[in-house]
Amino acid sequence: MLRYTASVGFDRRLAMADIEGSLAHAAMLAHVGVLSAQDLTDIERGLAAVRGEIARGEFDWQLALEDVHLNIERRLTELVGDAGKRLHTGRSRNDQVATDVRLWLRGEIDAIVVALGGLQGALVGQAAQHAATVMPGFTHLQVAQPVTFGHHLLAYAEMFERDRERMLDARARVNRLPLGAAALAGTTFPIDREFVAARLGFEGVCQNSLDAVSDRDFAIEFVAAAALVMTHVSRLAEELVLWMSPRYGFVRLPDRFTTGSSIMPQKKNPDVPELARGKTGRVNGHLVALLTLMKGQPLAYNKDNQEDKEPLFDTVDTVLDTLRAFAEMVPGIEADATAMRRAAEDGFSTATDFADYLVKKGMPFRDAHEAVARAVRLAAGRRCDLAALPLDELQQIVPAVGEDVFAVLTIDGSVAARNHRGGTAPEQVRAQAADWRQRLQGR
């Protein structure tokens, strides 16, 4: 039963937040006259010693003391006596643990925001280098229209920017102080919650004691945002896996992000992208775990909530490791511009440009679409590109076609023509990459 009910095996990870919270609580108790100045000094000295023992790995964690809170309190009392026993005045482990988790998570969110910026920076660096590198753009995984590789990479910079916004938005709700709620109903001591909040850097205090100790929506919301981060990473990972397949041959990755096969000497497997794609499942799972953990709980605190920690810890570890791995890997992506261009030329990817050209000559778009489809069938039958069809044959399909069509049918002409904000033209990609650089530097 000890092993079943104890959380110290994992919640010791909250130790530094627990000490920080206790120091603020003790300072507040002294401030309002509940603790003597001497008790406060003793508690501060004792907690500093405990912090040192934990940091040096010398702390004797005991399963019998159930969790991180009781372990630290017991050691404090061993070190400083009665003052240690007075620390828990006016609080409960219920508001204590909620405070610890929020303090800890706030720091991790800040680390994730930095890591997101690192990955964005890597994407922007590659995008600037490949502003004019053409590749096929896909819909339904069929060659659709040519795009630039830089444009493609900047799509991910946008996704990670929304992820950053979501993280910062969640942070504002994480950053509220539950302490003072005590077990569930508040406390009879004349506490000063704003004092504690200010000391711990919280943006405000939770306004209802029952809500403060019981809800974990802040954690759920964070994991939801993290699941979206992983979803975006996973899409990029999937593309890298595809692009590395010899069927595509669009990119190479440095060896340290790949492994060979133990039996097939020729293999170079995209292990890091595959693992990231796989780890996305864990984080999605953690989100469902936390939602399920919460859904049946009556007010206020229930021991169920002890189960919030492992999913939360693993989410943070997975997201941080993954973002950092990708931030290192992305600059190492080596694009094969020739293979990308060949693939872009393969699937009649400039057919839409041809149709737009006919529209500009006065043809209604639907008729142009139809005429181009005929030209594509002709080229497909000959296994040649649209641009390789002789002018007179194109003119048999549409008399309005002139010599100028060939500029439109080239891959470079196609991308360069999409020269507006959000378009794939090299000029736009260069401008966007420059904007991104500035934004990222200003953070």
Three-class HEC string of the chain: CHHHHCCHHHHHHHHHHHHHHHHHHHHHHHHCCCCCHHHHHHHHHHHHHHHHHHHCCCCCCCHHHCCHHHHHHHHHHHHHCHHHHHCCCCCCHHHHHHHHHHHHHHHHHHHHHHHHHHHHHHHHHHHHHCCCCEEEEEECCEEEEEEEHHHHHHHHHHHHHHHHHHHHHHHHHHCEECCCCCCCCCCCCCCCHHHHHHHHCCCEECCCHHHHHHCCHHHHHHHHHHHHHHHHHHHHHHHHHHHHCCCCCCEECCHHHCECCCCCCCCCECHHHHHHHHHHHHHHHHHHHHHHHHHCCCCCCCHHHHHHHHHHHHHHHHHHHHHHHHHHHHHHCEECHHHHHHHHHHCCCCHHHHHHHHHHCCCCHHHHHHHHHHHHHHHHHHCCCHHHCCHHHHHHHCCCCCCCHHHHHCHHHHHHHCCCCCCCCHHHHHHHHHHHHHHHHCC
If the CB atoms of residues 93 and 277 are measured against ligand ARG, the closer one turns out to be 93
Look up 232 and say whether it is catalytic: no
- Is 93 a binding residue for ligand ARG by CB under 6 A? The answer is yes
Look up 88 and say whether it is catalytic: no
- Is 221 a binding residue for ligand ARG by CB under 6 A? The answer is no
- Is 25 a binding residue for ligand ARG by CB under 6 A? The answer is no
If the CB atoms of residues 126 and 305 are measured against ligand ARG, the closer one turns out to be 305
The catalytic position among 7, 92, 140, 349 is 140
Site for ligand ARG in 274-303 (CB under 6 A): 303
Tell me, by CB under 6 A, how many residues bind ligand ARG: 9
If the CB atoms of residues 217 and 356 are measured against ligand ARG, the closer one turns out to be 217
- Is 18 a binding residue for ligand ARG by CB under 6 A? The answer is no
Where does this chain touch ligand ARG (CB under 6 A) — which range of 51-59, 92-100, 406-414, 428-436?
A: 92-100
The catalytic position among 88, 261, 369, 414 is 261
- Is 95 a binding residue for ligand ARG by CB under 6 A? The answer is no
If the CB atoms of residues 28 and 293 are measured against ligand ARG, the closer one turns out to be 293
- Is 306 a binding residue for ligand ARG by CB under 6 A? The answer is yes
Site for ligand ARG in 42-81 (CB under 6 A): 67
How far apart are CB 251 and ligand ARG at their closest, in Å?
A: 45
How far apart are CB 301 and ligand ARG at their closest, in Å?
A: 6
Site of interaction with ligand ARG (CB under 6 A) = 7, 11, 67, 93-94, 97, 303, 305-306
